[in-house]
Amino acid sequence: DRKIKIAPSILSADFANFGQEIRAIEAQGADWVHVDVMDGHFVPNLTFGPQAVKAFRPHVKTVMDVHLMIAPVDPYIDAYADAGADVLTAHIEAGPHIHRTLQAIRAAGMKAGVALNPGTPAEAVAHLLDLTDLVCVMTVNPGFGGQKFIDMTAKIRSLRSMIGDRPVHIEIDGGVDPATAPLVAEAGADVLVAGSAVFKGGSVNAPEVYGENIRKI
Nearer to ligand DX5, 102 or 138 (CB): 138
The single-letter DSSP state of residue 110 is S
Q: Is 36 a catalytic residue?
A: yes
Give the x-and-dash track for 61-100 against ligand DX5 (CB under 6 A).
------x---------------------------------
Give dist(CA 95, CA 89) in Å, integer.
13
Give the x-and-dash track for 143-182 against ligand DX5 (CB under 6 A).
xxxxx-------------------------xxxx------
Nearer to Zn ion, 93 or 130 (CB): 93
Alpha-carbon dihedral of residues 8, 179, 171, 73, nearest 10 degrees? -70
Span interacting with ligand DX5, options 77-85, 92-100, 123-131, 192-200, rule CB under 6 A: 192-200
Give dist(CA 207, CA 19) in Å, integer.
13
The single-letter DSSP state of residue 16 is T
Rg (C-alpha) for the chain, rounded Å, is 16
Q: Is 195 in the site for ligand DX5 (CB under 6 A)?
A: yes
Contact of 213 with 202, CB cutoff 8 Å? yes
Q: In angstroms, what is the minimal distance from the CB of 193 to Zn ion?
A: 5
Q: Is 5 in the site for Zn ion (CB under 5 A)?
A: no
Q: Is 67 annotated as a binding residue?
A: yes
Q: Is 34 annotated as a binding residue?
A: yes
The single-letter DSSP state of residue 147 is P
Nearer to Zn ion, 67 or 160 (CB): 67
Choose, by CB under 6 A, the member of 5, 6, 9, 87 that binds ligand DX5. Answer: 9
Helices (H), the chain: 18-27, 50-56, 77-83, 98-107, 153-163, 181-187, 196-199, 208-216
Q: Is 67 in the site for Zn ion (CB under 5 A)?
A: yes
Angle at 153 (CA atoms; ends 150, 158), nearest 5 degrees: 135
Residues of the binding site for substrate: 9, 67, 143-146, 173-175, 195-196
Annotated catalytic sites, by residue? 36, 173
